């Protein structure tokens, strides 16, 4: 293997952060633990697939998507029930075969479907909202090596806005964590 590459790419404007490349999932997992223990806040790992164990290695809390989806589901069920009750029992009652104007049993199947429909929208839109997506521009997507993040490489990016960021210390940490390819990313 070649010696650690530490070419200091001259930054145009303020750099976005420092990017470190890793070749195996185990390497990035252990590096993430070191960055977490280093007390960094504004950083992330980038992997081609969801890497299990990385949430813990990064010290992430459980995702909050579930709450948004739950609200969607409750909203869907009540929408169904209230809509059917209001339409068939209040606004324009039609008597069919002597059945009650409103019965929660007859109204259940459409309400059940609406629960799932709204809950699913809650899950997808909640995921996008929590991830601040869609996003048309990202500094990393301009970086020439970053395309490998969706292929077979693993990256750790520490942003320059992190309170603990220091040009020398952060680089030293990432080198110590085993990265052989560390560069700056322009904003």
Q: Which is nearer to other proteins, 10 or 96 (CB)?
A: 96
Does residue number 46 form part of the binding site for other proteins (CB under 8 A)? yes
Does residue number 138 form part of the binding site for other proteins (CB under 8 A)? yes
Tell me how far apart the alpha carbons of residues 185 and 165 are, in angstroms, rounded to a whole number: 14
Q: Phi, psi at residue 156, to the nearest 5°?
A: -120, 130
Structure tokens at 131: 């991830």
Of the residues 19, 107, 173, 182, which one makes contact with other proteins according to CB under 8 A: 107
Q: Cα 101 from chain centroid?
A: 46
Tell me the closest approach of the beta carbon of residue 117 to other proteins, in angstroms: 5
**Candidates 4-12, 13-21, 117-125, 166-174; binding stretch for other proteins (CB under 8 A):** 117-125
Break the chain down into helix, strand, coil percent, rounded to 5.
50, 15, 40
HSE-up of 66 (CA within 13 Å, CB side)? 3
Q: Which is nearer to other proteins, 35 or 184 (CB)?
A: 35
- Helix 104-130 with 65-85: angle, nearest 10 deg: 150
Tell me the closest approach of the beta carbon of residue 57 to other proteins, in angstroms: 9
* H or E element at residue 157: strand 154-159
Tell me the closest approach of the beta carbon of residue 4 to other proteins, in angstroms: 11
Tell me the closest approach of the beta carbon of residue 23 to other proteins, in angstroms: 7
Does residue number 87 form part of the binding site for other proteins (CB under 8 A)? yes
Of the residues 78, 123, 164, 186, which one makes contact with other proteins according to CB under 8 A: 123
Tell me the closest approach of the beta carbon of residue 14 to other proteins, in angstroms: 20
């Amino acid at each position: 293997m070649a010696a650690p590459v530490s070419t200091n790419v001259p930054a145009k404007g303020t750099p976005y952060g420092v990017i470190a490349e890793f070749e195996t999932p185990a390497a990035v997992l252990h590096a993430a633990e070191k960055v977490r223990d280093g007390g960094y806040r504004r950083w992330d790992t980038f992997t081609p697939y969801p890497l299990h164990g990385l949430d813990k290695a990064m010290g992430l809390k459980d995702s909050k998507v579930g709450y948004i989806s739950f609200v969607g589901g409750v909203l869907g069920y009540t929408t169904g029930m209230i809509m059917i009750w209001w339409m068939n029992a209040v606004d324009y009652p039609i008597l069919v075969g002597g059945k009650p104007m409103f019965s929660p049993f007859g109204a259940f199947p459409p309400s059940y479907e609406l629960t799932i429909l709204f809950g699913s929208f809650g899950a997808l839109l909640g995921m996008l909202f929590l991830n601040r997506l869609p996003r048309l521009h990202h500094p990393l997507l301009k970086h020439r090596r970053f395309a490998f993040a969706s292929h077979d490489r693993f990256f750790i990016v520490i942003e320059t806005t992190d309170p603990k960021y220091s040009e020398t210390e952060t680089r030293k940490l990432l080198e110590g964590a085993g990265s052989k390819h560390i560069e700056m990313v322009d904003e």
